[in-house]
Amino acid sequence: GVQSAQGARMGRDKVPAGGKAAIAKAAADKKAVEDAKAKGVESMECRHILVEKHSKAVEIIEIITSGKMQFNEAAREYSMDKAGKSGLLGWKRRAELDQDFWAAALDIPEGKYSEEPVKTEWGYHIIKIEGRK
């Protein structure tokens, strides 16, 4: 909906803490994402945390961002998907993932996680990208 598009935009406009170095890093991350998209990503190594409610996903993102918990710990604690260790889905190709999940994952720099919950038919995901090829 309109709200999530606005939220996503606001998230992108935030100047990261840490001044010029952080801004340069964010720009490099963004460029890496764009290069990967242009090249065509074959597969991505993903982790995720799956919950039922948007509000819960937002709360978990805040916990991880604040440093109270690492992503992997939060996955073990909160995710409804217990199949992978610490939320690990492993290397997935486009056809193996929900298309909304894949589209959102393409925008996430390696080593980072989604700052907004990603909705699929399964619920709300926080996606972390470990690698691309």
List pLDDT tens digits, range 65-74: 999 999 999 9
- CA gyration radius, the chain: 14
Specify the range with the lowest mean pLDDT, choosing from 21-30, 50-59, 112-121. 21-30
Q: Which residues are 48's β-sheet partners? A: 127
User: Who's near 35: CB < 8 A, 6+ residues apart?
Assistant: none
* Average pLDDT value for residue range 32-59: 92
Residue 17 has pLDDT above 70, yes or no: no
DSSP state of 113: B
Cβ burial 54-67 (10 Å sphere, 16+ → b, else e): eebbbebbebbeee
**pLDDT given for residue 7 in this prediction:** 45
Which amino acid is present at 120? T
DSSP state of 96: G
- If pLDDT is split at 50, 70 and 90, which confidence band does 16 have? low
Say whether pTM exceeds 0.85: no
Q: Is a pLDDT exceeding 80 seen at residue 111? A: yes
Q: Over pLDDT 70: what percentage of the chain?
A: 87
In contact, 74 and 127? CB cutoff 8 Å: no
